[in-house]
Chain A
């Protein structure tokens, strides 16, 4: 069943091994969380820590395993894939399996590390909350689903993992389901994602039909070897896959679900809506990158356009948010925009590098925000302020995360953002380059605003906040190490190990690697970051906005557009959801009750009119008297029509026959 031999020869130029036993048993990564979820479900309530220990052990094992794989990969390079055939449908085989290569190992490691820290954090954060055990079940299930997705050697498994993480996010966003808003947010996330998923599914089917396989490596092989059949549908398929990616990675205009998803518990936001699940779209684009590059370069332009729009639009909204988590949520959307735009510009490594650093510092920021929220019992930054004194550890780590996000050296975000900017510059996308620089400025600005409102100034809220438990601050400290150092693995001209890691795949990655720092990009990015921080500090600290908690730069029209998120939700409600929900389905309802009724009645009237003649002269006096023993008043023609209007069964019959007649007319005269 299991195919141990690579089916397509590796095209990478790097030295690699098959990974040996560690790669062979990598399926444990995927299976363990599901087993653990079952164990927690059935035994969780009876365990001393209510199931958290099972979850922690599992995720710890996964972390260790992924770290071992990472070590193996860094030292030797591992490329291998395994398939389990579960049957075929007509043209192609349905296979599941696991892939062990640079890209997936990087993702295993990110998922393992962030998940472990978030799990530790959550044991304390969620203490005393309802459904503690269920929370860990879902979180473990999510880790498993995410690993199903990133370990996938076939498109079909990607699709399954894709939907599974969607379901898990539905469960976890709606964790506090007693509040109606939360369950609605969960529904919104679910349905927005489903729209994208259908695009993905159709894209996958088109690809599979035209390549005869669902194996990603074979599709990529075909696309770099000029298979005629694939090239005709490549653009459509590429766009459809991108629609799928837009949903998960919250790209404009399908990003609306992510900010609402903040209704979930903060550890969930940190794990899913910052570090892992939302990067699934970027992962998919990266996985399919050779296909995009070789077959659908036009689609890459579309990808880049949407990425750039997203990074700017979401960044602007983040400026006006008063909810700390929503600032971070829009920031995530904006950073995902960077990644997607980077893929669009052909910078495969830069995108993944940003994914890698972002996972750590954004998880850090979210966990920091969670620590604050835990202390203040409010999400609103207007009720915070001055927390630097009472929560020094949280403050310090949050600052590290902020600086990393703002892109100042030597923090992680600096290197990854610089690489994206450099690749924009290299590709000659001047406009997009400047938008991205502007985005960097905005990023620095809103993060400074958030820090000012939360930690600086005087405390504006009620109650007495205090530093969080060690179980919560330890993950923060650990993550801040990553937030500082994770960028050092890819410094142009010094050490570019990361580039080698993620490009070690079966299929060759053709892209541009900067040999040294692009000084123009570097200085613009740095300048934008510093300017943003400076301006933010000026407005919110020196001008004293943080003291009062109100923003002095509220320029009304723009502000309200931003506060209303470009009226996108309104737009959806007004033009998409309401028409469907109210108008169309009401219309169908009306159509059912009115049009069909009327049609039927009209039909009935004509029939009755014709029938009336026959009826009065022939039926009434002849056959009717013989047959119609019990019927009374049938001679009342008007009454008959009236009865037809109120009746239902005969309308069904009428509809039935009307259908037959319509079909006959169609088939006999039109077709």
Chain B
């Protein structure tokens, strides 16, 4: 079974997500980058599930949960971004610095 390449893909996706949240300035894009990380976790879980031939399919169940929670989180995130956009006319997260150290 091809385990390693899949894990590498997941890790790469994880890194891309990290890169995205650090570099993208649009809040929506940052959200999407976070989705990338969550998906890398999903790939990991499914891969491990397959690799271990888990009879309980715990990895896959976990994945379903993650997808659900991710959806909820994106919903909340978009709501917050919308609210911000309404008040500020921008979704650039680096312009939100009313409160400083």
Residues B12-56 near A (CB distance < 8 A): 18-19, 21-26, 28-29, 32
Whether the pair B21, A644 counts as a contact (CB closer than 8 A) is no
Contact A608-B23, Cβ < 8 Å, known A630-B91, A648-B94, A650-B93: yes
User: Which one, A589, A592, A614, A647, contacts B25 given CB within 8 A?
Assistant: A647
- The answer for the CA separation of A627 and B28 in the assembled complex, in Å, is 10
- Residue-by-residue, is A646-657 near B (CB-CB < 8 Å gives 1, otherwise 0)? 111110011001
Contact A649-B94, Cβ < 8 Å, known A592-B101, A627-B32: yes
Whether the pair B25, A640 counts as a contact (CB closer than 8 A) is yes
A660 shortest CB reach to chain B, Å: 10
- The answer for the CA separation of A648 and B21 in the assembled complex, in Å, is 13
Is there a chain A Cβ closer than 8 Å to B96's Cβ?
yes
Is there a chain B Cβ closer than 8 Å to A607's Cβ?
yes
Nearest-neighbor residue (CB-CB) of A629 within chain B: B28
Contact A649-B101, Cβ < 8 Å, known A604-B22, A611-B19, A657-B18: no
Is there a chain B Cβ closer than 8 Å to A628's Cβ?
yes
Residues A558-613 near B (CB distance < 8 A): 589, 592-593, 604, 607-608, 611
A598 shortest CB reach to chain B, Å: 14
User: Which one, B18, B32, B93, contacts A647 given CB within 8 A?
Assistant: B93
Whether the pair B25, A643 counts as a contact (CB closer than 8 A) is yes
Q: Taking each of A611, A614, A643, A648, which has the highest tally of chain B beta carbons within 10 Å of its own beta carbon?
A: A648
Is there a chain A Cβ closer than 8 Å to B100's Cβ?
yes
Whether the pair B22, A657 counts as a contact (CB closer than 8 A) is yes
Q: Taking each of B21, B25, B32, which has the highest tally of chain A beta carbons within 10 Å of its own beta carbon?
A: B25
Contact A611-B23, Cβ < 8 Å, known A630-B91, A644-B94, A646-B97: yes
B91: which A residues are within 8 A, CB to CB? 630
Nearest-neighbor residue (CB-CB) of A589 within chain B: B101
Is there a chain B Cβ closer than 8 Å to A631's Cβ?
yes
Secondary structure at chain B's binding surface: helix, strand, loop or mixed? helix
Contact A648-B96, Cβ < 8 Å, known A607-B19, A611-B19: yes
- The answer for the CA separation of A608 and B32 in the assembled complex, in Å, is 18
Sorting the interface of chain B by its residue count into under 10, 10 to 19, 20 to 34 or 35 or more gives: 20 to 34
Nearest-neighbor residue (CB-CB) of A592 within chain B: B101
B101: which A residues are within 8 A, CB to CB? 589, 592-593
- The answer for the CA separation of A542 and B81 in the assembled complex, in Å, is 87
B81 shortest CB reach to chain A, Å: 11
B64 shortest CB reach to chain A, Å: 25
Sorting the interface of chain A by its residue count into under 10, 10 to 19, 20 to 34 or 35 or more gives: 20 to 34
B95: which A residues are within 8 A, CB to CB? 647
A640: which B residues are within 8 A, CB to CB? 23, 25
A645 shortest CB reach to chain B, Å: 9
Residues A613-644 near B (CB distance < 8 A): 614-615, 627-628, 630-631, 640, 643-644
A147 shortest CB reach to chain B, Å: 47
Nearest-neighbor residue (CB-CB) of B18 within chain A: A657
Whether the pair A647, B94 counts as a contact (CB closer than 8 A) is yes
A650: which B residues are within 8 A, CB to CB? 21-22, 25, 93-94
- The answer for the CA separation of A604 and B24 in the assembled complex, in Å, is 11
User: Which one, B18, B24, B29, B97, contacts A648 given CB within 8 A?
Assistant: B97
- The answer for the CA separation of A27 and B94 in the assembled complex, in Å, is 64
A652 shortest CB reach to chain B, Å: 10
Nearest-neighbor residue (CB-CB) of B25 within chain A: A643
A627: which B residues are within 8 A, CB to CB? 29, 32
- Residue-by-residue, is A327-363 near B (CB-CB < 8 Å gives 1, otherwise 0)? 0000000000000000000000000000000000000
A644: which B residues are within 8 A, CB to CB? 23, 94
- The answer for the CA separation of A650 and B93 in the assembled complex, in Å, is 7
- Residue-by-residue, is B62-99 near A (CB-CB < 8 Å gives 1, otherwise 0)? 00000000000000000000000000000111111100
A648: which B residues are within 8 A, CB to CB? 94, 96-97, 100
- The answer for the CA separation of A608 and B91 in the assembled complex, in Å, is 20
B24: which A residues are within 8 A, CB to CB? 631
B21: which A residues are within 8 A, CB to CB? 650, 653
A631: which B residues are within 8 A, CB to CB? 24-26, 29
- The answer for the CA separation of A611 and B33 in the assembled complex, in Å, is 14
Nearest-neighbor residue (CB-CB) of B101 within chain A: A592
Whether the pair A628, B29 counts as a contact (CB closer than 8 A) is yes
Since A627-B32, A643-B94 are in contact, a sample of 15 more A-B pairs with Cβ atoms closer than 8 Å, ordered by chain A residue number, is: A592-B101, A604-B23, A607-B19, A607-B22, A608-B23, A611-B23, A627-B29, A630-B26, A630-B28, A631-B24, A631-B29, A640-B23, A647-B95, A650-B25, A653-B21
List 8 A-B pairs, Cβ < 8 Å.
A614-B19, A628-B29, A631-B26, A643-B25, A646-B97, A649-B93, A650-B93, A657-B18
Using CB atoms and an 8 Å cutoff, list the residues of chain A in contact with chain B: 589, 592-593, 604, 607-608, 611, 614-615, 627-628, 630-631, 640, 643-644, 646-650, 653-654, 657
Shortest Cβ-Cβ A-B pairs, 5 listed: A647-B94, A648-B97, A649-B93, A592-B101, A631-B26
